[in-house]
Each structure stands twice: as C-alpha cells, then as structure tokens.
Amino acid sequence: MTQAQQNNQNIAALLLEQRRYPPSADFAAQANAGEGFYDQDPDTFWENEGRNRLSWFTPFTTLKQWDPPFAKWYLGGKINACYNCVDRHVENGLGAKVAYHWEGENPADRLTITYADLQQRVVKAANAFKHLGIGKGTHVGIYMGMVPELPVTMLALTRIGAPFTVVFGGFSADSLGGRLNDMQCEHLITQDGAWRRGKPNPLKPIADEAMAMAPSVKSCVVLRRAGNEVAMTDGRDHWWSDLVDGQSDDAAACPCEPMDSEDLLFLMYSSGTTGKPKGVVHTTAGYLCGTATTHHYIFDIKPETVYWCAADIGWITGHSYIVFGPLVNAATSVMYESTPDYPDKDRWWDIIERYKVTVLYCAPTAIRTHMKWGPEYAHKHDLSSLKVLGSVGEPINPEAWVWYRDHIGGGRTPVVDTWWQTENGMILVSPLPGLTTLKPGSATKPFIGVQAAVFDNDGKEIPPGEGAGFMVVKGPWPAMLRGLYNDEARYRDVYWSRFENTYLAGDGARVDEDGDFWLMGRIDDVMNVSGHRLSTIEIESALVDHPEVAEAAVTARSDAITGQAVVAYVILKGGKDGSPEKSAELREHVAKVIGPIAKPANIVFTPELPKTRSGKIMRRLLKDVAENRTLGDTTTLADASVVDEIAQRAKLEADKEG
Ligand code: WTA
C-alpha cells in the first residue's frame, strides 16, 4: 500500500469514528448556545446582540444596509470601541477582574492586569498620544511584539478615534514601510526589540529603515523591552516611558471619543494574488459586535472562563480574538510573549496548568509541532481545566484534530475548527460546543446569519454531498470588510467579480450530506505556511529584486508540520549555476524584502521555467514537481523537456535536504 493510500485509509477510519464526538450531555446543559439556537431569525439575533452586547452613546436606528458589494451595520449609532472594551466594565464593578494574565518570555516576567489597571494604562497612553498631536482621524502604525503595551496602544488609539494598522513584528522594513506609506501613517509606535528564545529580536532598527521610506511619519514612540541598542532621532523619536509614565490616569478627564458605527477602526494588510498587499478595511460597530458575539458562543465564554488565544496580535486572529472580542465580553485572557519551546517544549502546558486555562485557541501548525515533539510534554502537566479547544488559520487534518482532543483535551473537550479570514473579521463557520456534533477535519456549520455556500464554476450552488467547489458567502455579515483601502476597483475585482453579489473567499470547499463544511485550502496563488498567508507573486517579486536573479517562479508543496512550504524555482542571470551559498543568500534576501516567514524552504536553480507558448509560467506543473507527483498535461508547453530537467534538479535538491 502506498503512503497516500495508507493516509486515506487512516482518515476514513477516523471519519467512521466521528460519532464518538457528540456533545456530552453535561456540557450541553450548561453551554451558552442551546437547542433552537439556529432557529432564531438572523436579523433579530444580530439586532439583539448589537443592542445588548455593546454599549452605545447613541443607539443605532437601522440594523444593516446592503448595497452590494458594500455593507453598513448598526447605522446611526455612536459608539467607542475602547469604552466597550474597558471603561464600561470598570463602571459596572468589574475593575478587579483580570483582563490579561501576561507572561513574558522569561517565565519570571509576569503581570496581572485587571480591567482597572488596563483602564489606567490606556488613559495614560491616550494622554501621551494626544500630547503628540494624535487625535480623531490621525493614522498611526504599530510595530510591536506581544507586550501589554500593544493592546494598550490599540485601545488608547481607539479611545481618541485614531485608526491604526498593526504590522506583524516578523515583517521586514520594506513591508512595514509599504504599509505606513499606503495608510499615510503620521506616527509609529514600536519597541526596541522583542524577546525571541533568550535574545532580542530588533524592531526599532527595522522601523528606522521603514521610516526612511515613509515620509508621512512625523514621530515615533519607542518602548524599552529587550534592552538592545537603538538609535534615537532627535525631534522624531521618543521613549515610551518619558512620554507615558508621567501622564494622568484620570479616565473622566480623557473621555472616549464618540465614533460613528461605520468609522474606520483599523486596516489589516493581507497578502493577495498580486505583489501589493491589500489594506483590508474594518469599521467599528459591526466588527465589535461580530467578534464579541462569535467569541461568546463559539468558545462558550462564562464569567469564570480563562481564555487563551495563542496567536500573535499582529494578525487578524489576535485583533479579533485576543483584543476586541474577549475585551468586549469582559473575559479573562492569557497573553504570552514568545515561542512554545522556550525554555522548554512544555511551556504552553505549564502556562495552562498555572492559570487553569479553560479555552485554548491556536493554529493547526502549532498542534502538529506539538505532535512531533510528542505528547509527553503535555502529559507532565495537569490540563484538566480545559473545556474547549479551538483551531484556526489552516485546514486541520483529522489526525491532528484527534491528537489535540485526546492529548490536550483529555478526550473530553469539544474541538471547534473555526474557518474565517482577515477579510471576514469574525469566525464564519464553526461548531458550537455542546450543540454541534463534531467531525474531525470539518468546520461544520455557518454561524447565524452567515449565508455560506459552495458554488460550481457557473455560480450554481452545489447541493450537500455533491462535490467540491468555491467557498462563497451570499450576503453581508457584521464584521465583514468594508472594502480595500483606497482601492475600490481591486475590492470589486478580487471578491465580487467571479459571482454576482456573492463574496468569493478564495478557498475550495465541499458540504457533506449533513450540511457540514469541509474547507480544502486556497484555490488561488495564495499559500498558507504555518497559518500565515503568503502570496506566490510577492515572493517571486522579492526574488527577482535580487541583482543576480533573472526569473523566479514560486509554488507551495505540502509539509507535515507547516501545512504548506514555499518552493522557489530560480533562473540566475547569465546562465550561472546555483550553489548552496547562493540559495542561502536568496533566502535571506526574501527575509529582508518581505520577512523571515516568507523564506522559501527549497530553492531549485534551473536554466528554464516551463512556459506556455504565450509565455505564461505553468505553476501547476511546478506544483506537480514540488509535490513529487506525476506530471500533469504538458501539451501546452513551449518546450516539454524543460519540466523533466527541473524535476531532475528538484529531486537532487530534495535528496540534499535528506
Ligand atoms: C485558511 C486567518 C481551513 C483559509 C483567520 C483562509 C482555514 C485563510 C481555516 C485566511 C480553517 C483559516 N480551515 N482553512 N478553520 N481558517 N483558513 O486571512 O485558506 O490569515 O482563506 O485569516 O486561512 O487566512 P487569514
């Protein structure tokens, strides 16, 4: 039996076992969502959530307006995100409740931040930002690691009505500079460096390079965290402590700015199918309501819940499910600064045991990494506090799902596989713990009011059980993107041009006989490496940007741990041959241009690329080569021998890798 047949057989066996996973009767009885949850009228549901879950300065008058492809939600309302996340909880007597158990990379570095502490920190930061001239409508960039000052900065900015963009700390100076320019940010908040496995990972030096390309940035605030040496530019750069520490923490003297429901809250840049990242627009009320509502039901949040989303705030998962959703719900969260293997591979399980975490939300890549390390690290700790486990960012293979439930969840906990995207803002497809019958590998059912479907090529809905097609959403949902920043044409083109008035997600999917959704990965030139979205074209342009590269084509192959891995085929100028040194140099070059997350796992040097007679690179064939598959149809190739040559070289490269 081949490996592939064996895998299929294993998966089939797992699926047969799926009925092992009904909601347990105990759990169902106390879960937030009960029988009849899905029978509610969606508009009434979202109307009630909007009125009851959020606090308004002026209540909204109209639930939604749908003028495809543009949606507005909770029209006519005045609201402030920071007020909903922080101040009202203190006013309601929850000041002593823990908002974040923050844990630094050094296990001795711990902070307990209550809602009252959070309010004081946010007010001080907001006063400092005002002092710099930041106010309603000022655009601000944020480039920080997982420190408490990151959510504090986001909240302080929303308090005074300043939209921001957080750029993940692993991005390069070019990526940061490009985003600062695109949003025309006037200020940047950063830190000296972030801790990574005992060493400072410099951020301010990268921010300096980025600011050199972004003339709109007038001032930069720098938090001291890792102690690495940084240059400070007089008149532009300020230490966080100089600016913030002496400010007043009197909340009444620094009120929350009333914002329109549809005012810009933040931009999140995301890789698309062309080189330039897209500025995904999220506005205030719909985003807050969508994230907080899904957070409440899908993670079954209770007053006593200790919730941990082990993502990075630099991505949408962190925005929606570390910052805004949990804080609107006055939840207690864990926030951790660094990697799962520092100082040892049981760091996560140690954290869960110490804080008695009840909900863990992480990416399949992390689960597969823990699988590779072995369950003994988890078994050393008491994980019996866990009640719900969540997964996000990539398809979760049934083996990983079952391992997660058995070894981390002690065979007791529901696993909620949540499907959504940067553009969606909130989870769109997910089981509800205690209610939905779970299936390892399936995200199961659309959330209330989410009109998800699978379309065929002609835009006809594929009925349950009848095959795979395009994942689409037929109407608006509260936290959906409101557009791409300054690029209406691209917004229409990317998401709304394939099918009429229907959102194209870019994923393949199928719905089974029970109406459960199975997400099958990207159908476009977007790759998903460790749950990070990367664009093939972006990496190709980074490679071609190197002075010695003539041409490059990038594709993904599957990888047991990271889901997918980047494979680059490169032609060097002047017909030069590649070498391991050149390969290392090109990988570093990609890290410099985009960020270390985009480094190709393999580089195959080749004298030619397979092209059609019209000169288009046939990525499909390169993918076959990368995956070691029999080659697909090569009849449209200009020169069919090219692929054999590349396959030979790819094999040599793979053998070298061992
Ligand atoms: C993939 C992350 C299968 C998908 C929140 C999507 C998933 C892309 C799942 C969005 C899941 C996310 N099952 N695939 N549960 N969750 N994806 O924008 O391909 O970083 O299009 O948002 O991740 O990635 P993004």
Are 477 and 290 spatial neighbours (Cβ–Cβ below 8 Å)? yes
Residue 606 Cα to ligand 1 middle (Å): 32
What are the φ/ψ torsions at residue 128 (nearest 5 degrees)?
-65, -40
Of 211, 469, 190, 214, nearest to 314 by C-alpha is 190
Strands 140-143 and 164-166: parallel
Please state, in angstroms and rounded to a whole number, the distance separating the CA atoms of residues 201 and 211. 18
What pTM value is reported for the model? 0.91
Ligand 1, atom 24, lies closest to the CA of: 421
For ligand 1, the distance from its centroid to the CA atom of residue 113, given in whole angstroms, is 31
- Radius of gyration of the chain, Cα coordinates, nearest whole angstrom: 24
Which atom number of ligand 1 is nearest to the Cα of residue 519? 3
Nearest CA to ligand 1 atom 22: 421
Per-block mean pLDDT, blocks of 10 residues, the chain (658 long): 59 56 79 93 98 98 98 98 98 98 96 98 98 98 98 99 97 95 98 97 97 98 98 98 98 98 97 81 98 98 98 97 98 97 97 98 94 96 97 91 94 95 98 93 96 96 94 97 97 97 96 94 87 87 91 91 93 90 96 93 90 76 81 67 80 62
| Ligand 1 geometric centre to CA of 118 (Å) | 31
The per-residue pLDDT for 658 is: 41
Q: Which amino acids bring their CB within 6 angstroms of ligand 1?
A: 270, 315-317, 392-395, 417-422, 443, 505-507, 519, 521-522, 528, 533
Which tokens is 657 given? 């890798």
Q: What is the pLDDT of residue 350?
A: 98
Q: What's 429's DSSP letter?
A: B
What residue's CA is closest to ligand 1, atom 25? Answer: 421
Question: Quick one: which H or E segment has residue 538?
Answer: helix 536-544
Q: Which of 533, 535, 558, 597 to mutate to test the pocket of ligand 1 (most atoms within 8 A of CB)?
A: 533
Atom of ligand 1 nearest to the CA of 532: 20
Identify the pLDDT of residue 14.
58
Ligand 1 centroid, distance to 520 Cα (angstroms): 10
pLDDT at 107: 92
Nearest CA to 323 among 335, 305, 339? 335
Helices 42-53 and 285-298 pack at an angle, to 10 degrees, of: 100
Nearest to 424 by CA among 392, 391, 389: 392
Separation CA 546–CA 536 (nearest Å): 16
Residue among 268, 278, 404, 420 whose CB has most ligand 1 atoms within 8 A, to mutate: 420
**Cα first-last separation, the chain:** 23
Alpha carbon nearest to ligand 1 atom 12, residue = 393
State the residue for tokens 């549809």: 262
Q: How far, in Å, from the CA of 643 to the mean position of ligand 1?
A: 32
Task: Using the mean position of ligand 1's atoms as its centre, give its distance from the Cα of residue 487 in Å.
Answer: 23
**Which helix (H) or strand (E) is 655 found in, with range?**
helix 641-657
Euclidean distance between CA atoms 50 and 64, whole angstroms: 11
- And the tokens for 267? 């931009």
Q: Which pLDDT score is estimated for 505? A: 97
In this structure, the residue with its CA closest to atom 7 of ligand 1 is 394
Q: Do 482 and 282 contact (CB within 8 A), yes or no? A: yes
Distance of CA 471 from the midpoint of ligand 1 (Å):
12
The rounded Å distance from CA 419 to ligand 1 centre is: 6
pLDDT number for residue 5: 60
Task: Quote the ligand 1 centre to 521 CA distance (angstroms).
Answer: 8
Calculate the alpha carbon distances from 94 to 115, 219, 295, 540, 561 in Å.
7, 35, 19, 51, 41
Cα-based angle 101, 298, 507 (whole degrees, multiple of 5): 110
CB-CB contact of 97 with 217 (8 Å) = no
Domains of the chain: 530-656 (3.30.300.30)
Q: In testing the pocket of ligand 1, which one of 278, 316, 401, 421 has its CB within 8 Å of the most ligand atoms?
A: 421
Give the Cα separation of 618 and 569 in Å (integer).
12
Q: Give residue 420 CA to ligand 1 midpoint distance, Å.
A: 5
Residue 643 pLDDT: 78
What's the mean per-residue pLDDT of the chain?
Answer: 93
The residue behind tokens 């959403």 is 473
Q: Whose CA is nearest to atom 3 of ligand 1?
A: 395
Residue nearest to atom 6 of ligand 1 (CA): 421
Nearest to 511 by CA among 474, 456, 458: 456
